[in-house]
Every structure is written in structure tokens, then in C-alpha cells.
Amino acid sequence: MSRTRTAILAALALVAGASGTAVAAVAPEPGIAAVPCTVDYKVQNQWDTGFTTAVTVTNNGAAKSSWAVKWSYAGNQKVTSGWNAKISQSGTAVTAANESYNGSLASGGSVSFGFNASYSGTNALPTTFTLDGVTCNVDDGSGGGGGTDPDPSGKVDNPYAGAKVYVNPEWSAKAAAETGGSRVASQPTGVWLDRIAAINGVGGGMGLRAHLDAALAQKGSSEEVVQLVVYDLPGRDCAALASNGELGPTEIDKYKTQFIDPIAAILADSKYASLRIVTTIEIDSLPNLVTNTGSRATATPACDTMLANGNYVKGVGYALNKLGAIPNVYNYLDAGHHGWIGWDDNFAPSATLFKQAATSEGATVGDVHGFITNTANYSALKENNFTINDSVNGTSVRQSKWVDWNRYVDELSFAQAFRAQLVSVGFGSGIGMLIDTSRNGWGGTARPTGPGATTSVDTYVNGGRYDRRIHVGNWCNQSGAGLGERPQAAPATGIDAYVWMKPPGESDGSSSAIANDEGKGFDRMCDPTYTGNARNGNSMSGALPNAPLSGHWFSAQFQELMKNAYPAL
């Protein structure tokens, strides 16, 4: 159970103590000044020697251009790492000051940061917080997962908090064999179950049980997350050929009985009950039904077929139902990315369709622990050189060719906003988001150091954007891409983790047609000479040459990802 301290009024005494009783916020009586600031300090996960905490600060006073939050510990707690704040500690006193990108704190505005810390003995909650020297609170409470009651299924609020994440030894060996690859070979990546044969292992490789056994060995006495990508819907990836699957559009029964049921049986084995198993459910499937069907210029006959027969919705619902019933499985449903779902026409309809799928085939919204964005994609995590609210000479950034009327310019803002939309249509208020940062770093010499020229809205956006793709719709083996933020738990409000769900160095698709028995076609978007289609604004593909089949090791891409990593290796 997570432990919470919520700031209310500086004059309130401790009322919850160690009882674990949640305390509701109290409004000031008429004539009593409003609390100048509130601090929500949540211990999201705690183990024998450490803990992970998320902190949200709300400023009820005058707007600030910089800020610093301070508190002291009663015990021997030591902050070991943090994010979204510059955290320092002297003895028991801790100071968390703003980073360069989040110093602005409006009146009534909030800012969030987090950290990991060590301790021994008792991890007593801090009793006093100050914001720029002004006391915020002395109130105490507790609750599960972000201030809500504990999940009755026994699931934790954030499976990544306080846990190690499984390092796939097969991927790790390939990475380590590359020149310079040892720098990232110990990073955790997703295990892709992209065909029925993958359950037992392909070509002598590890199957699902072998991966779970290896995860148990890595786990030791700690908590351990295993990340699986469940990816074999009938008629899979109706708008792309490189990632087509083995099952035809009507083979929903085969999907259920030969793919999902065997996976569920293995995951339900009591041998693996101590693992936290995170599943990414069927990437790219449901978003295709929103954007690539009907009268849209981007529509394809294959997507129209899958919308009409309902097998994407049925397959996703069945997977959520069967896997969600297992107590230690955490389902995260794929939600595309900002350059796909961020437009007005796509945003709300996508959330509605996801709700439909999550309540089909016996599934409920309770079977969805969260959502994942940017899986196997390249959208920048955070664009710092421009915002959606900027304008140049009276022209909105939304009107630039790159943004093209989208509501979002990066994945973090999209994921946080889409989370709120998902809650509004009926998903649980405790859902968390994952963002795949495996290939969205966009570092190297091409990374802009500041905003673009204000000659026009296009020079402003193009000169400042980190994402250097030719078009936001480009998705295959992108030239210039780099490794992104390293996997980490609870990096921002509403985000359960940054993850490397797509293993860096595994191809998105072949640059030319390659005969294979994996059901994978040739998509011109993976051909560097292709001049594009409606889905990428008839732009060049931006793909690297000489790529192998999707999922196969692509050494040249791995080297480019390391070279352009941001943060740099």
C-alpha cells in the first residue's frame, strides 16, 4: 500500500498518524486565509531498504518563475535519484528546486517531481513542507495508488515503482556484441509475442516460459517486472504491410484458442505469481479503426474489413478479459501516439472505441491497468523549444506544416491529456500511462539548441523541433533517431514509467521485399526511395537503407540510435 501525506492547512495537527486512515481536504472557514500551498507526498512503493515517492506541489499564492520545496526527515532516509527537480540533501534536510524547464508555477498551478530513496528502520513521513520558505502543511494520510483505495485484486498502483525490470538476455547479448553496445545492454526491453510459435520459442530461441524463468532468476528477493507485447490479432496492422501477421482477418477463434489461451495458461502458473507481468496489448490495432477507415483519405480496404467484422475489438476484449483475470498481470492497452491520435477528429473517438473494446468479450475497464503510447515509434517525449499555444506573426503553431492542426506537439503532453480523456469515458481514475522512449531521443549534432527563426511559423517550428523526421507519420527505421530517456518508474504526473518496449536495434521492416515464413509483407514506407502516401503527407519515408525483416537485428540502426542518444550515452 502506498503511503500519502497531503498538505491542507498549516494550522492543522497530525490527525491520521500511522493508522493508515485517509484524511479529506478541509476548506478554510470564511475569514480564514486560504492555505498558501499544498504538497501531496505519496510513497508509491516501499521495500526493506528503499522507497519511491511522487510529490505534487500546488501554489495558491502569487505566480512564481522559480520555486524550491523543502522538508526534513526524522530518520535516516537518503534521496538517491530524482526526476523533474534538482534534489539535494544535507543531513536530514531535503531541497527540491525547479529544473530549467518547469520553473514557472502559476497561481493555482501545480508541478510534480519524484525520487527514489534509501532507508533502514522506520520510514516516517515528513511532518512539514515549505514552498519558498512558506509552510504548506502538516497533515497526514494514506491510501493506495495515487490517493485511491487499494486495488481489491491485490495489484499495486504502479507495477514499476520499486521494482527491477527484466533484462531480456537474448536482446542484451545482441546489444553487447555491438561496438559500444555494452553501455545499454543491461537496459530492460519488451519481449514480443508476435506469433503463435513465439510462445514456445522460434528457431531455438527463448519461449515465454524460458523468459519468465529467467526473470525469476534475475528477481532474487526484489520485485521484478516482466514486459510482454501481445501482438497477433487477426488481420494485424491493417494499414501497414511490414508488420502484417500470420492470422487472416476472420481467424478470431484461432487467435483466442491458439494464442491468448496458451499465454494466459502460462502466466497463471503459480510458479510465476511473484512476478509483476506487464502486457502491452495489440499495438496499432484499435487506432487503425479510427483513422484508416471509411471515407478518410488514409482509409485502407483491410482496415474497413476489420472495422466491419469487429475482430479487432473482439480480440482485444478477449485478451484483456483472459489476462486481466490473473492477479499479477497488468494490462496496458496501446493508444497510438500524439501524431496519430492527437487531432480533434481522433482524440475523443479513440477513447470511446477503447472503452468499447475494454467492455467486450467479458472484459471490463477493471481489466485495463493503463495505456501505452509511442510503442515502437519515434515521437519526441518533450518539445522544449515551442508549445502548441505559440504563434508567429499572428499564425498559430497549429497551422505549421509539421503540427498540421494537431492539439499536441510531443508524447508527454499527449499521454497526460489522453489519460484524462480516458478517465472521462469511464476508465478508472487510477490508470497510468507508459511511454515508449526506446527510439525518441533525437540527440546528436542535429538536435536544435533553441527555437527556430521567427521568419514564419514553419521556420520557427522546424528550426526548434527535436523530432527530425520528415513527417510525423513516418514510422519505419527512421534516419537520425536516437535512444531516448532510459527506462524509469513514475517520471511524471500520470506516467507509470518510461519504457523501452521496442527493443532498440530490431528492425521495423525490410527496405525491400524479402521472402519469409513469418507472414510479414513489404511496406514501401520502409523503402528509403519511397515518396510517400496520404498517411505521411506524400513525403519521403525517411527510412534507413538495407533493413532486414521486422523484428530482425539491424546493426546499422542500433549504431545510429546510440550515436544520436539523448540523454547522450
pLDDT in tens, 61-70: 888 999 999 9
- What's the pLDDT band for 82 if we cut at 50, 70, 90? confident
pLDDT score of 328 more than 60: yes
Across 129-138, 473-482, 541-550, least confident range: 129-138
pLDDT score of 354 more than 90: yes
Residue of 47 and 552 predicted with greater confidence: 552
pLDDT score of 150 more than 50: no
Q: What is the pLDDT of residue 267?
A: 97
pLDDT score of 4 more than 80: no
Q: pLDDT over 70 for what percent of the chain?
A: 91
Q: What is the pLDDT of residue 21?
A: 24
Strand pairing class (68-72; 129-131): antiparallel
Half-sphere exposure of 195 (CA within 13 A, CB side): 17
pTM recorded for the entire structure: 0.75
Q: What is the pLDDT of residue 492?
A: 94
Neighbours of 156 (CB within 10 A): 22
Kind and range of the H or E run holding 97: strand 93-97
Query: Residue 124's closest CA among 225, 281, 5?
Result: 5
Neighbours of 540 (CB within 10 A): 16
Beta bridge partners of 76: none
Beta bridge partners of 371: 333, 433
pLDDT score of 452 more than 90: yes
For the ranges 49-53, 83-87, 141-145, 169-173, the maximum mean pLDDT occurs at: 169-173
Angle at 183 between CA 476 and CA 499, to 5 degrees: 50
Residue of 100 and 163 predicted with greater confidence: 163
Half-sphere exposure of 223 (CA within 13 A, CB side): 22
Name residue 465's amino acid: R
Average per-residue pLDDT in the chain? 89
For range 452-462, the mean pLDDT: 97
Q: pLDDT over 90 for what percent of the chain?
A: 72
Strand pairing class (432-436; 495-499): parallel
**At 321, is the secondary structure helix, strand, or coil?**
helix
Strand pairing class (276-281; 223-230): parallel
Kind and range of the H or E run holding 105: none
Q: What is the pLDDT of residue 385?
A: 97
Which grid cell sits at 418?
489522453
pLDDT score of 455 more than 90: yes
CB 317 within 8 A of CB 355: no
The C-alpha atoms of residue 57 and residue 70 are separated, in whole angstroms, by 11
Catalytic entry in 139, 508, 523, 527: 508
Strand pairing class (191-193; 223-230): parallel
- What is the Cα Rg of the chain in Å? 24
Neighbours of 355 (CB within 10 A): 16
To the query of whether residue 304 is one of the catalytic residues in this protein, the response is: no
Strand pairing class (68-72; 93-97): antiparallel
To the query of whether residue 390 is one of the catalytic residues in this protein, the response is: no
pLDDT score of 464 more than 50: yes
- What's the pLDDT band for 5 if we cut at 50, 70, 90? low
Please count the helices (runs of H) and the strands (runs of E) in the chain: 12, 22
Distance of alpha carbon 146 from its chain centroid, rounded? 17
pLDDT score of 246 more than 60: yes
pLDDT score of 13 more than 60: no
Catalytic entry in 284, 390, 496, 523: 284
Q: What is the pLDDT of residue 53?
A: 87
The C-alpha atoms of residue 411 and residue 371 are separated, in whole angstroms, by 13
